[in-house]
């Protein structure tokens, strides 16, 4: 009986956050297949340790697990994967009223944004995805990433500045993997 209530509690608290977990994993790994594997492992760990979850923000708890699984995976791989997945788009509902030219411009804009995000160093990409795509608070990001609130704010400011520079100039260059 205890297992059934544990499963039901897990399903209520954690399963609704599957899209957020996949989104974070996808942006961290830069690869849809690896993101799926990562999320599966994160959910297994989350279920295994759900008994120790003391309530609170289950979304932040799960995203922290996803992040930790990614770093373990990346360390075991001994390199950051640079694969990009062609044809995958940032999720967006396209208006049916757009004419072909407007759809093309939307596609180009999304593609430029995706390329700019993928060029950010991991530490910047991580915080910008958590803030702008997952709409987490600075405090939640600090908790998930295990960094001070001020570091979250400075990384976000630097990430936004680099994104703006890349999008304004149309320049696509890799930034060194250094974080201040």
Q: Is residue 154 classed exposed, middle or buried when 0-12, 13-18 and 19+ CB atoms within 10 A define those classes?
A: middle
On the CB side of 28, CA atoms within 13 Å amount to 28
Q: 143-176: per-residue pLDDT in tens?
A: 999 999 999 999 999 999 998 888 888 655 544 4
CATH of the domain at 114: 1.10.10.10
Q: How far apart are CA 154 and CA 138, in angstroms?
A: 11
Q: How many residues does the chain have?
A: 180
pTM of the model: 0.62
Residue whose C-alpha is closest to residue 125's, from 95, 155, 100, 105: 155
Say if residue 12 is in the same domain as residue 73.
Answer: yes
CATH of the domain at 45: 1.10.1740.10
Say if residue 66 is in the same domain as residue 7.
Answer: yes
Residue 93's pLDDT band, with cuts at 50, 70 and 90, is: very low
Q: Which pLDDT score, from 0 to 100, does residue 94 have? A: 42
Top-confidence residue, 125 or 78: 125
Q: Read off the pLDDT of each residue in 56-60 and give the average, rounded to a whole number.
A: 91
Contact 166, 110 (CB under 8 A): no
The count of structural domains within the chain is 2
Question: Is 95 contained in some domain?
Answer: no
Q: Read off the pLDDT of each residue in 94-122 and give the average, rounded to a whole number.
A: 72
Question: Domain containing 153: what range?
Answer: 100-169
């Amino acid at each position: 009986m205890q297992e059934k209530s544990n499963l039901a509690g897990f399903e209520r608290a954690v399963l609704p956050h599957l899209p957020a977990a996949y989104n974070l994993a996808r942006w961290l790994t830069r690869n849809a297949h690896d993101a799926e594997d990562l999320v599966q492992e994160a959910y297994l760990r989350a279920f295994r340790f759900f008994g120790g979850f003391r309530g609170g923000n289950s979304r932040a708890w799960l995203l922290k697990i996803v992040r930790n699984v990614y770093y373990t995976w990346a360390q075991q791989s001994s390199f950051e994967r640079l694969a990009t997945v062609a044809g995958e788009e940032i999720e967006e509902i396209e208006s049916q009223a757009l004419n072909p030219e407007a759809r093309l411009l939307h596609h180009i804009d999304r593609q430029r944004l995706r390329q700019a995000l993928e060029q950010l160093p991991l530490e910047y990409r991580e915080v910008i995805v958590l803030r702008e795509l997952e709409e987490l608070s600075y405090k939640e990001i600090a908790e998930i990433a295990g960094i001070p609130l001020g570091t979250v704010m400075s990384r976000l400011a630097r990430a936004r500045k680099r994104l703006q520079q890349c999008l304004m100039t149309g320049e696509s260059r890799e930034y060194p993997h250094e974080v201040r």
